[in-house]
Every structure is written in C-alpha cells, then in structure tokens.
Homo-oligomer: A and B are copies of this chain.
Amino acid sequence: MFFLLDAFFATSFLLNQGLEKTLVQGEIITIGNELTSGMTLDVNAWYAAGRLTASGLRVTRITSVGDDYPSVSRALKSAMEASRFVIVTGGLGSTEDDLTNEIVSKALNRPLCLDKEMFAIIKRHASMQGTEVCSSLEKMAWVPDGSRMLSPEGRACGFSLVENEVRLYFLPGVPEQMRYLIDHVVIPELRKLYKKLPVTICRTLKVYGLNEPHIAEIFRDLEKKTGKAVLGFYPHFPENHITVSLTAGDAREAVQELDRIEKQIRNKLGTALFATGNDSMAEVVGKLLVAKQLTVSVAESCTGGLIGHLLTAVPGSSRYFLGGIVSYSNEAKMELLGVRAGTLEAKGAVSNETVQEMAEGIRNRLHSDLGIAVSGIAGPEGGSKEKPVGTVHVALASAEGTVSRKYRFWGNRQAVKLNSATMALDWMRRYANGDPLLPGI
C-alpha cells in the first residue's frame, strides 16, 4: 500500500523473506558528526551492509554516532555484545575531529603505538602530493596496541583487532577507500574464517517500458515458482530493476537454481528486459551496435544533448556514435538539419513530421546507418491542450525508411528528458535486436 515511489531511493517489496537465522552476525558503526547532523548521506554503511549480506554474512544493526568518546565507546561496546564482527568506518583521518584511534585505545584499554608500515605509507603519499609530514599526519599511524595494519597495495589504510573473540575492522570514511578495504580485505578474511558460510548470489534484471503494476502482476504470478529465491523490486527511474537472490550451501547449487528462476522471469519480461547485471542501457546499445556493425547519429530537441551524453559515457563509443545536433530552436532545425519551414509551420516542432525530417536530416548529414531524433515538450512551460507537457515524438531513420511515434511522459523536466533519451536508446537497442519498437500513445 502507498506506493508513492521516490525516483531514486524507493522502498522495496520483497517476497519470501529468505534470511537464515543461522548466519554469522555482525554490526556496522559509522562515525562522524556529518552523519548525525544529516550533512552527509551514509553511503558507507549501505555499501558495507550490501556487500556483507551478499557474502552470506548477516548485519543486524547499523549505528551512526558523532565523533566523541561517549558515543563511539558506547556504540562499540554495545555492538560487541552480540556480534562475531564489527565494521567501524570514519574518524581515521588527520584532522582534529578524527578521534577513532584514541577512542578505541581508551575504550579497549590498549595504548596507542606507532605502526611503522602505516607511517611509511603516509610519508609516501605526502611526498607524492608535495606535502610535509606534520604531526597531524603522523597521528594517523598511532594505532591501538595489537592492531594489524590493513593496507593492500598501499591503496587505503585501516586496521583490525580481535577483542573477546570479536573481530573489529576500522576503516577510513572516504567511500572509495572504505569500499576497497571491504572488498579486498574484510570480506575475503571473514569468508575464510567462516568457511561454511552459505553463498548468496544476487542477480539484477533491468527493465524498461513496463510499469510498476505490470511488474507487480508478474511478481504475483511468480510467487509460487521461485522457491527459496528472494525477489526485489527497485524503481530506478525511468528503468525498473528486479533482483533475484538466493542463499544456498554452495555456489554451483545457487547458480543452477538461479538460472532456472531467471529463465522463468525472462519469459515474463520479454523484450522489456534489456540487461542482466551491471550494464547500463547505453552500454547494451553500444555492444549491440558494435556486434551488428551499425553507426548512429542523433538529432535532439527537448533532450538537449542528453542522448549524446549517455551514448558517449561508454568508453569506445566513437566506434559507432558519429555525432549529433542539438536543434533547440526552429532555426537550428532548419539550418542544421534541413527541416522544412513548411513542416514546422503546418505541424509544429513537436510532431511526427518534424521529428522524421530531423532523423533523416542527421542521418544524411553524417552518413550513419541510423538517425534517431527526439522532439518534445519537457516543461514546465510550453505545453498546450493539444500538446501537453510531456508530449514527445521519437523517430528512427534507416535504409528501410523512417518511423516515428508519439509518447506522453510524466514527471518534471528532468524526468521527461531522461525518459525521452532512454526511449531513444531503447529504439536503437530494439532496432539492432530486430525487436518491435515500443508502441506510443
């Protein structure tokens, strides 16, 4: 109930809660006044929790506290009560409010000692940046007695301790470094330590062009057929992402079962499924165009350059993307794309006729296999009764001729632009795949 979905950070609905009670349990503590004051969004806890869960470990609590002794000490002691491992991030830097080392030293009654290996890394980094090693930098190398340095390839620094059989990891708050240590040290160590950990494998299926009620219906159909797998639904406007995760005794077993389930879901999703895994729509399009040896060019009006930007976000896109024209004004449409004045007068800039001439114009000028054009009203102004905000025409010109469709997209300016650009990319994908284009209104 109440599915008012935020564009990016939506609630999720899960089927078949599959978390095993027997998993190895741990907690995450993130330290920083910027977290408790709401200045910074806690992406570190989110990342660590996701990675640990996917590795078959269970996070029972995430605690964020400010950089002060009573708060950190209390959080640390409380987390150690019921955990096999505790991940602590933040407060390892060189500024005055980075107090984690001192607090841990005091809370666990372990004096601070200079770690020579860490000090050497700090000196090397400082000299690379042309900075002197002042006392505040040296401070970072003083760690609680009994600590073990974590610095794989010198790329990030943290330390680890074992206290009352609880494994404590202290990681920097800089997201890039924290993530590196989680992936390259913490998870491999914990998995080695708890060899009998079940394996959780998660796959993401990306969908464009199916709305939420439609997907909810597919979920209901699947409910009985997915066994122990957990299905997740994550709107990622304008796409929808479906996750399928499964916990099993070993990886092969999990993969086999996931393959079986994925096949069922694929059947339901049809051509709306555009990627499995991490590939973006633009990456999928790029791979297809390379495989089919097709080149594209784009003529953009309301998207303002976004289609070109998305296409060129992919390394190597110059192999298939020849260029584009952003024809924001009518003059640009005529001057640069050869759209006829008569068409603009009789049908308007937002019409099938204009967008078809735009697509043909860019294709002819750049001699590409495909010419894609988009023209529409992104809003908030410029709408009318006949052509309300969100009215967008898409056209595709190829050797076989030119087709176009009219769409009606919802949301603000940004949403209309993004949906229009994604639709243009989806047309490229469907053309290259030989799939039918998405119908319009």
Contact = CB atoms under 8 A, between A and B. Distances in A.
Interface string A312-329: 110111100111111111
B321 A308 contact: no
A403 interface: no
A11 B300 CA distance: 38
Given A33-B17, A336-B365, A315 B177 contact: no
A329 B323 contact: yes
A54 B329 CA distance: 43
A37 interface: yes
A326 B308 contact: yes
A413 to B, nearest CB: 6
Interface in A352-401: 365-367, 378-381
A419 interface: no
A417 interface: yes
B328 A318 contact: yes
Interface string A43-55: 1011111111110
B323 A336 contact: yes
A174 interface: yes
Nearest to A40: B12
B325 A331 contact: no
Given A11-B93, A39-B12, A174-B11, A326 B323 contact: yes
Given A303-B309, A329-B318, A1 B175 contact: no
B64 A38 contact: no
A185 interface: no
B321 A324 contact: no
A37 B11 contact: no
Nearest to A302: B312
A305 B316 contact: no
A38 B48 contact: yes
A335 interface: yes
A326 B328 contact: no
A339 interface: no
Contacts of A322: 328-329, 331-332
Contact of A315 (B2, B131, B140, B379): B379
A95 interface: yes
Contact of A305 (B4, B41, B312): B312
A337 to B, nearest CB: 10
A61 B30 CA distance: 10
A325 B328 contact: no
Contacts of A303: 309, 312
A268 interface: no
A335 to B, nearest CB: 6
Contacts of A1: 93-94, 122, 125-126, 131, 137, 140
Interface of A: 1-6, 9-14, 17, 19, 32-43, 45-54, 59-66, 71, 75, 78, 90, 93-95, 97, 122, 125-126, 131, 137, 140, 156-157, 172-177, 232, 234, 243, 297-298, 300, 302-309, 311-313, 315-318, 321-329, 331-332, 335-336, 365-367, 378-381, 413-414, 417
Which 3 residue pairs of A and B lie closest in terms of their CB atoms, listed nearest first? A38-B50, A305-B308, A304-B312
23 contacts: A1-B140, A2-B156, A11-B34, A11-B40, A12-B32, A13-B97, A19-B33, A39-B50, A40-B46, A303-B312, A304-B308, A305-B308, A305-B324, A306-B309, A306-B312, A308-B326, A308-B328, A313-B414, A315-B413, A318-B329, A323-B326, A325-B326, A326-B326
